[in-house]
Amino acid sequence: MRDINNSYKWVAALVVMLGMFITLLDTTIVDITIPKMIPALNTDIYGIQWVVIAYMVGSAIAMTIVGWFGDVTSYKFVYILGLVIFLTASAFCGQATSLGEMILERLIQGIGEGLIVPISMTILLLSFPKEEAGLAMGIYGLGASFAPALGPTIGGLLTEYLNWRWIFYVNIPVGIIAFLLATFLLEEHKPEGTEAKDFDWLGFILLAIFLGSLITFLTKGQEKGWLFSDFIIKMMLIALFSGILFIIWQFVYKYPLWELKLFKYRLFTIGTAGRFIFGGAMYGSFYLMPLYMESLRGYTTLLAGFAMLPCSLAMGVSVIIGGILSDKLGARPVSLVCVILLSISTYMLGSLDLYTSKLMVIILFMLWGFPIGPLFPTLTSKALNSLPDEKVNRGSSIFNVTRLIAGCIGTAFATTMLQRKAGYYFSLYSYNTSPGSKTFIQAYLKAMAFFHSKGFTKAQSKILSNYLMSLYIKMHAYCIAYQSVFKILAIIVLCVFPLLIFFYDSNAKEKRLENLNDSKVTGVKCEIID
């Protein structure tokens, strides 16, 4: 049994939430400032992508050692060390003057995030009683979903009124507060049953190679042309072989880096798989929304950030509600309802077009964000609470690495599908509106008349009309492409539903009988809630 201090659990929640918030904020806050960073770092759109990739690679590599590192030291030490690394790297990121410097510092910054995020989940689960695990994961989910969702808004504000470098400097004051609170208030979390073991160096190297090559393969695939690129094929083969060797080694070595045997726990396996599938679709949708607003609809960076703010608030409110409902009603009914709502709301995003009002864009995106909040705590709390206390830290590491991989796959999938669909619909629209078609002739003549009425010569009007028709076709092609991809992502979300049918505790009946017997002995009436 966990010895839980009722007041301390809220202290622990506050401390880890601060660290989690700034680290997860940095997963999205950079995206919206990339145009400003390109000239400052003297690079191009392809080079600047490594600023994002380096952070993900560093985070993924650090997450692989959290399980072992927390067992041989303490969870408090790992959390504080992660904060120190993250804050130091943030300061240097703000001072970076070249692309190489920025990539190195972002890699180190990612290592700090990779230590903080999974260990925060472990600390929260061990600070709250098991019957309040949903609430604990609701608090965790508040940072996990709210912070990335706020990234574009905060990034837009800082870039607009200060400087893009402040997206890194803003971490420092909040991080220092989190560091001081953790140092003086956080207890030395380390459940019984954990002991120092030899570090699995070979497993670590294989997993680092696998994650690094996989993330590079997924994030650079569209740019390089996927299997038409020798570089991408090499990354794919390296990821494939290192992944296979890692799995084999984990079953052979006495003290594996990842305890793959944790997947024998049914609820952990279902929760991880469900989180992986819906997480990929969520990150894919989240990637498409700013593109739709800024690239297709012409929203400014600041306007797009504010348009996404209500979605962030909806997530923040619903994630706490979801955690409480999960504790009271059970994880399965809450997660099943949320999957259906998320699938429907994702499909509704497929109705966005070139003429959708700003208010409707905000409403649809807010409706999309609301069911995401409860899904995270319900899946996470049930999955990790099915593990023994001494295995929670190891399970948290696996759970968070799969979250990162799901994000990379979802983003890569959305990008690739958008480009392919746009190309297909552009060809289709170009054929249907060819110069000989009635539709094209009518639109072309209207454009010619418009430009001629504005004082342009016949030759100038012709050039402008040709450009306008090409732009018109391209915009409509991308509009239909966005709609198509959102609908595909809605179907992917729905694939989680069959998994969650089996997301129940098979020992619930025995637990009821055991608690009822205990209540008869003590004379206290017990209410058991699955």
The string over 476-512, giving b where at least 16 C-beta atoms fall within 10 Å of a residue's C-beta and e elsewhere, is bbbbbbbbbbbebbbebbbebeebbeebbbeeeeeee
User: Using CA atoms, how far apart are residues 367 and 343, in angstroms rounded to an integer?
Assistant: 11
More confident residue, 406 or 488: 488
Structure tokens at 182: 């953790």
CB under 8 Å, gap of 24 or more: what pairs does 325-330 form? 325/134, 325/374, 325/378, 326/134, 326/137, 326/138, 326/374, 326/377, 326/378, 326/381, 326/382, 327/131, 327/132, 327/133, 327/134, 327/135, 327/529, 328/529, 329/529, 330/504, 330/529, 330/530
User: Using CA atoms, how far apart are residues 503 and 269, in angstroms rounded to an integer?
Assistant: 10
> What's at 122, amino acid-wise?
T
Nearest to 57 by CA among 196, 173, 280, 215: 215
Q: Sketch the domain layout of the chain as residue ranges.
A: 1-199
Q: What is the mean pLDDT of residues 482-494?
A: 93
Nearest to 515 by CA among 494, 529, 505, 501: 529
The string of pLDDT tens digits covering residues 255-305 is: 887 888 888 888 888 988 988 898 888 888 887 887 888 778 888 767 877
285: left (phi over 0), alpha (psi -120 to 50) or beta: alpha
Residue labelled with tokens 């080694």: 249
Q: What is the mean pLDDT of residues 307-315?
A: 81
Does position 521 have pLDDT exceeding 60, yes or no? Answer: no
What is the per-residue pLDDT for 353? 87
Specify whether the CB–CB gap between 305 and 362 falls below 8 A: no
Structure tokens at 28: 């999205």
Does position 517 have pLDDT exceeding 80, yes or no? Answer: no
The string of pLDDT tens digits covering residues 354-369 is: 888 999 999 998 999 8
Cα dist. 405→137, 194, 243, 260, 272 in Å? 20, 27, 13, 17, 12
The total number of residues shown for the chain amounts to 530
Helix (H, G, I), strand (E, B) or coil at 128: coil
Nearest to 383 by CA among 276, 269, 282: 269
Provide the 10 A C-beta neighbour count for residue 68.
24
The string over 410-443, giving b where at least 16 C-beta atoms fall within 10 Å of a residue's C-beta and e elsewhere, is bbbbbbebbeebbeebbeebeeebeeeeeebeeb
Q: Which fold has domain 1-199?
A: Growth Hormone; Chain: A; (1.20.1250)
The string of pLDDT tens digits covering residues 140-185 is: 766 666 677 677 778 778 877 788 888 889 889 989 998 999 888 8
User: Using CA atoms, how far apart are residues 25 and 12, in angstroms rounded to an integer?
Assistant: 20
Residue 54 pLDDT class (50, 70, 90 cuts):
confident
User: Using CA atoms, how far apart are residues 299 and 296, in angstroms rounded to an integer?
Assistant: 8
The string over 103-142, giving b where at least 16 C-beta atoms fall within 10 Å of a residue's C-beta and e elsewhere, is bbbbbbbbbbbbbbbbbbbbbbbbbbeeebbbbbbbbbbb
Nearest to 59 by CA among 97, 95, 96, 30: 30
Q: Give 7's contacts (C-beta < 8 A, 6+ positions apart).
A: none
Q: Cα-flanking dihedrals φ and ψ of residue 350, to 5°? A: -70, -5
Q: How many CA atoms lie within 13 A of 241 on its CB side?
A: 5
Does position 94 have pLDDT exceeding 80, yes or no? Answer: yes
What is the per-residue pLDDT for 501? 87
User: Using CA atoms, how far apart are residues 25 and 434, in angstroms rounded to an integer?
Assistant: 47
% of residues, the chain, pLDDT over 90: 15
Helices (H), 225-330: 230-252, 266-291, 301-329
The string of pLDDT tens digits covering residues 322-377 is: 777 777 787 788 889 999 999 999 999 999 988 889 999 999 989 998 888 788 77
What is the per-residue pLDDT for 491? 94
Nearest to 349 by CA among 473, 478, 495, 485: 485
Helix (H, G, I), strand (E, B) or coil at 2: coil
